Structure 1
């Protein structure tokens, strides 16, 4: 997975059955709305589109780019285990940080500021 759009990218690996994923999703959605110059990719792990859409609709969450990773290829590529995981990539696609576990809103903003330097 490369950031071929020449902008910093945040990739969140999540699933609807994961309580920490569910708790952090509103903060990630708000960060996406605040940081228009950063691409956010929400990569659902192992679930189908209908399951994810039902969850997002019930929680009234609007996300721009939702992807579905039924084979768990993204965590294998980045060498991460478990979810949630939030990956922060520089504009050239290099991994800057992999945050394992639930992420706080202030951590999201701090990592994005580091990417934009």
Structure 2
């Protein structure tokens, strides 16, 4: 009986992963560490001809390359944001996903200004 449960478990995981058409992550590979300083990578995983994609986000976030398969999301304020992927020319509809963005603990940025008096 245990073997059958294991097979069913594996099949459920496989079917869940095979239906995934887009994902999000960050440069360090940990999705629980989204913050206001580092961009979030959005990636559409399916190659389809004649389908135009467009990323949508609510709130204080900006998406670079909204119609690209790989886009970058930057949020200026912490909070929970909904990311939607609109597919034009496709019969499938993508469900939105929620991303939690935390405040960056070192929220300042250093920069250098060159003086003209040198």
Instruction: Provide the TM-score with structure 2 as the length reference.
Output: 0.23
Larger Rg: 2
Specify which structure has the higher proportion of strand: 2
Question: How does the TM-score come out when normalised to structure 1?
Answer: 0.23
Higher helix share: 1
Relative contact order higher in (CA < 8 Å, ≥ 6 apart) = 1
